[in-house]
Amino acid sequence: MKASETVQVSIGDITRVATAALVQAGCDSGNASAVARVMAAADRDGCASHGLFRLGGYLASLKSGKVDGKARPSTKRLGPSVIQVDGHGGFAPLAMVDAREALAPLAREQGLAAAALVNVHHFSALWADIEPLVEAGLAAMCFTAYMPAVAPAGGREPFFGTNPMAFGWPRADGATIIFDQASAAMARGEIMIAARDGHELPPGVGVDGEGRPTTDPAAVLKGAQLPFGGYKGSAIALMVELLACGLLGQPFSVEAAEEDNRDGGPPRGGMLVLAFDPARFGDSDGWLAHSEFFLARLGALEGVRLPGDRRAKNRARIDREGTRLPAKLWAEAVRAAG
């Protein structure tokens, strides 16, 4: 993209404009600001595919009536170490705020606890969902499915969602190490960006509608993505379906697609969040120094980068300078904000 087709925007401005656009489209202020914050968090970390780029999808789902922009999540205890947060058909971010608030003290009390988010529409980056738990000193995992996009190993039809999972581990001084990765070889958002910008894909990312390997992002979006790492990534994608859908009583990716109205926004689904209190697993005094020692050794290896390193660098720079967005995307957002 030429510089003339982009604009430099601060994260504060992205948050304000996205919030206003969501309110214009029917969100109450709690939902609007929770959703705007997850988009802004992605742009802040240099992840355009989950940033303001998603606003159009959020707005479409409000306009079509698929998502209730005024939904109030409700929390209930399903067992001593399990809570369920029902989003009642709203976007995921506000339910995730409630889930974190209930899950953090429960994990400290129980040692290990789970939050089952149900009836939410999730369209954002998982690392931002778990980061506050990890900053609070908990280890966390998160799983969610989507709509069929990935062919299981050996197959050629989309069946699994992109099915991201995230894992976070607390570091000294409130820092974190978090990875967040789709079970697909490449995140669908990245393929959408490649299609928009006319870039070719690396091999192994997907097949076209006839099951033939291709590097054309538009063809992959019409065909099927492939899992990362062959049958092993395919097994991870299956695990995500069973944990985020089967376990929680939520639609599997194939079912989500059948009930979805195809408005371009996220389908209804579930999310599973696990939180571990490292102080309750047998090494209450030593775990932090021990893992810091290990991560320092890992980070010192030639050629090796810790997960989240690039995001942390982007964040420091973008907090100072703002981020470059396509001018068209920004103009549309400003227009939607009214």
By CB under 8 A, name the binding residues for its own copies: 78-82, 84, 109-114, 116, 118, 139, 152-157, 159, 167, 169, 179, 181, 185, 228-230, 232-233, 235-236, 238-239, 241-243, 245-249, 252, 254, 274, 276-278, 280-283, 286-287, 290-291, 294, 297-298, 301-305, 307
Nearer to its own copies, 68 or 241 (CB): 241
**Residue with Cβ nearer its own copies (303 or 338):** 303
Catalytic residue among 50, 61, 131, 241: 50
CB 314 within 8 A of CB 2: no
Backbone angles phi, psi at 337, to 5 degrees: -75, -15
Asked whether the CA dihedral 194, 198, 201, 205 is positive or negative, the reply is positive
CB nearer its own copies, residue 57 or residue 111: 111
Among 162, 135, 206, which residue's Cα sits nearest to residue 49? 162
Query: Rounded to the nearest whole angstrom, what is the least distance from the CB of residue 131 to its own copies in the complex?
Result: 16
Q: Are strands 82-91 and 112-121 parallel, antiparallel or unpaired?
A: parallel
Provide the residue count of the chain. Answer: 338
**Taking the alpha carbons of 150, 152, 158, 160 in that order, is the dihedral positive or negative?**
negative
Phi, psi angles (nearest 5°) of residue 75:
-115, 135
For residue 151 the two structure tokens come to 């062919």
Strand order in the sheet with 213-214: 213-214, 206-207, 224-225
| Closest CB 178 distance from its own copies, rounded Å | 10
Please, what is the minimum distance in Å from the beta carbon of residue 316 to its own copies? 22
The first and second tokens of residue 335, run together, are 């227009």
How would DSSP label each residue in 118-171?
EEEE--S-HHHHHHHHHHTT-EEEEEE--SS-BPPTT--S--B----EEEEEE-
- Comparison of 53 and 127: residue with beta carbon closer to its own copies: 127
Annotation marks residue 49 as catalytic: yes
CB of 119 to its own copies, least distance (A): 10
How far is Cα 60 from Cα 56, in angstroms, rounded to an integer?
A: 6
Active-site residue identified among 190, 234, 241, 253 = 190
Provide, rounded to whole angstroms, the least separation between the CB of residue 132 and its own copies.
19
Contact 145, 253 (CB under 8 A): yes
The nearer residue to its own copies, 19 or 291, going by C-beta atoms, is 291
Annotated catalytic residue 50: yes
Q: Annotated active-site positions, please?
A: 49-50, 190
